[in-house]
Amino acid sequence: MKKITISFVLSLLVSIVSFAQVDRSQFPKAGPAPVIKIGEAETFTLENGLKVFVVENDKLPRVSFTLVFERDPIMEGDKAGMTGFVGEMLTAGTANRTKDELDEEIDFIGASLGASSTSVSASSLKKHQDKVLDLMTDVLFNPVFPQEELDKLKKQSITALATSKDEPGAISSRLSNAMVYGKDHPYGEVQTEESLTNVTVEDIKTYYETFFKPNVAYLAIVGDMSKAEAEKVVKSYFSDWEQGDVPSFTYPKPAPADKNMVALVDRSSSVQTVIDIAQPIELKVGDEDYIPSRVLNQIFGGGSSSRLFMNLREDKGYTYGAYSSFAPDKLVGQFSANASVRTEVTDSAVYEFIYEINRLVKDGVTQEELDKAKANLAGSFGRSLESPSTIASFALNIERYDLPKDYYETYLQKMNALTVADINKTADDLIDPSKLYITAVGNGTEIKDKLAQFGEVMMFDNMGFPAKEMAAVDADMTSEKVIENYIAAIGGKAKASAIKAAKLEMVAEVMGTQLTIELIHDDANMRFAQKTLVGGNVMQTSVVKDGKGTASVQGQSMAMTDEQVDAAKLGTYFIPELYFGTMGYTLTLDGIKDVEGTPAYKVIVATPLGSSVTNYYSVESGLKIKNENPVSGDTFYSDYQEKNGVLIPMTQTIKSAMIPVPLEAKITNLEINPELTEADFN
């Protein structure tokens, strides 16, 4: 035990008194910013123009090589999406190795190898560096670009594109980019099924031969390697690489809107609205406003203590989170503030966004906010230095953006010297609250009129193109007539009503696994059963009968609430349109909309308890082509075939947030008016 002396007691009392005298209601005053000693990357350049940066770190016996190509953004036009294939095509096989052989050799030594349209990278244990460099340079210098790999990649991309067309976040991103940059700018153009289909192996080869040149490349080496060794290694593997002319491109500089403008994508099944408020800004790494913009963003929308977060989530409860960014770019930067909010508070949320943007520019920030932001960012910066790759990226940035050699060593000093006036000047420099693009993806019927208070509302499709002008609904057309036309189109009321029950089996494939959906409709007795099987195993069942419902997922059953039963009844009937009237449903005709290029009447079907779905019926054929359900997602109907004198859609394409890719389900077995027993609904 420590001996207790008079001096020990006195020192303890002094400590207690000193602690008691500290005013803990105030943040401690920040001391001088520390001088950061960053291990400088050593550099050298090969005769072919390849610039090499070496960051030696012998703490672990590993080494990584990252090759980056500095090229201007390119417009891909009718081949949009082509650059997305380049990396996978590079690693799909070489003149010396097949793709499988490449993968096997990489796995055998526990290494990694990857590529993109602007980079090739590899890493391994130090003892395997020659092997991994042999593989990396084989991919770099000897790709064969197999046609079968491109065919597979195109199919995957088209499937992913189809999924993204119904993903609110992806739609919002396309819409915001279209507004900020325009479709005639590399940052605003979008991939389409047609543009992806247009890409050929020759396009990939031409891109590779044009842009993969050493004189526009930087090689960063991080790990257990000295500069002297790096010079030998790099010369051995990269000195024969021939330089070449690389084209450069210029584009018109996007400008802010003349006034606040609202862009809306109508997604009827949405129960939330994705809001993004953006404008182009002049901001590059190293600019006078660059470091202040990091601090400004931390205060405004950089985390859970920011103004946006505290207002829209903590105070108003509109969203789970609201954030902002000031993104620098060599061509044109972007300011953005975004959140996903409940449909009913969309206009209120936009109001608060604009209020906070105006307050930021007009009233500025406080000293307390500035001190907190500096402390937070200084901590993040310090933690980033623990990674050797950070030092390599700093070295690359200094070269690429022509920064002072001590830019990052003095980063914290520059940030610590910023004043409230500096941050306020940056807000004023970068943001114009009167020239914002306000974009929204959500239920247009609910939010369009409410958004008009913020500016002219322009309608767009889910790819960010202006929505097609649809003809006005004829004065004598009603929702009831749309339904009558649909029943007539499928064969008439007499034949449709003769179908009292149906059993059907639908089969689809999800990422190589067969999915089977079995449905039983007993319209005469208002009974319904569904079973979903994956790989032959029952995963989910649901039953509605006697006004009640049960659902089971992987053997765990639970009773449906009245509201859930109410919503389920919208899909209980085999031909639900026959029963809209008797069920007391309310129908609303909401104009003519563009559904994947087909003009269609939009009919909102609402139950007495408030559940609803939205159906779309082709103006030309009268057939139902789409159903939007806020729970299960969107279903597209196609391949109508006559069964018992009634046209039935034999293919249903389902797009839902619950499945990773669109689900194309085909009816493989259909029984009309089968004999049903109680066992079918147990």
Chain center to CA of 579: 40
Which one-letter DSSP state was computed for residue 577?
G
pLDDT band at 40 (very low <50, low <70, confident <90, very high): confident
pLDDT one-digit tens code per residue, 415-424:
999 999 999 9
pLDDT at 553 over 90: no
Q: 184-193, 280-289, 551-560: which range is least confident on average?
A: 551-560
Half-sphere exposure at residue 305, Cβ-oriented, CA atoms within 13 angstroms: 11
pLDDT at 472 over 70: yes
Rama region for 240: left / alpha / beta (φ>0; ψ in -120 to 50; rest): alpha
Say what the pTM is.
0.83
Q: Of residues 40 and 187, which shows the higher confidence score?
A: 187
pLDDT one-digit tens code per residue, 303-353:
999 999 999 999 999 999 999 999 999 999 999 999 999 999 999 999 999
**341, 353 in Cβ contact below 8 A?**
no
pLDDT confidence of residue 37: 64
d(CA 148, CA 152): 6
pLDDT confidence of residue 463: 94
Q: Of residues 375 and 658, which shows the higher confidence score?
A: 375
pLDDT band at 363 (very low <50, low <70, confident <90, very high): very high
Give buried/exposed letters for 653-666 (b at 16+ CB in 10 A, else e).
bbbbeeeeebbbbe
Q: Could you give the strand order of the β-sheet that contains 272-281, starting from the edge strand earlier in sequence?
A: 319-327, 333-342, 272-281, 437-442, 261-266, 457-460
To the nearest whole percent, how much of the chain has pLDDT over 90? 77
pLDDT one-digit tens code per residue, 63-99:
999 999 999 999 999 999 999 999 999 999 999 999 9
pLDDT confidence of residue 19: 35
Q: Is 144 helix (H, G, I), strand (E, B) or coil?
A: coil
**275, 454 in Cβ contact below 8 A?**
no
Is-same-fold flag (42-165+191-238; 261-460)?
yes
pLDDT confidence of residue 516: 93
pLDDT confidence of residue 9: 31
* Element containing residue 139 per DSSP (H, E): helix 129-141
pLDDT one-digit tens code per residue, 119-159:
999 999 999 999 999 999 999 999 999 999 999 999 999 98
pLDDT confidence of residue 29: 53
Report, in angstroms and rounded to the nearest whole number, the Rg of the chain calculated over CA atoms: 31
- CATH code given to domain 261-460: 3.30.830.10
* CATH number for domain 42-165+191-238, candidates 3.90.230.10, 3.40.50.150, 3.30.300.130, 3.30.830.10: 3.30.830.10
Chain center to CA of 73: 21
For the chain, the structural domain boundaries read 42-165+191-238, 261-460, 479-681
- CATH code given to domain 479-681: 2.50.20.10
pLDDT confidence of residue 507: 94
* Element containing residue 65 per DSSP (H, E): strand 62-69
**Cβ neighbours, 10 Å, residue 405:** 9
pLDDT at 26 over 60: no
Q: Shortest CA distance to 117 belongs to which of 210, 250, 241? A: 210
3-state secondary structure 12-54: HHHHHHHHHHCCCCCCCCCCCCCCCCCCCCEEEECCCCCEEEE
pLDDT confidence of residue 566: 87
* Sequential DSSP letters for 329-396: -SS-EEEEEEEEEEGGGHHHHHHHHHHHHHHHHHH---HHHHHHHHHHHHHHHHHHTTSHHHHHHHHH
Contacts of 130 (CB under 8 A, 6+ apart): none
Q: 29-43, 382-396, 440-454: which range is least confident on average?
A: 29-43
**183, 263 in Cβ contact below 8 A?**
no
d(CA 547, CA 526): 8
pLDDT confidence of residue 35: 57
pLDDT confidence of residue 8: 33
Sign of CA dihedral 427, 432, 433, 436: negative
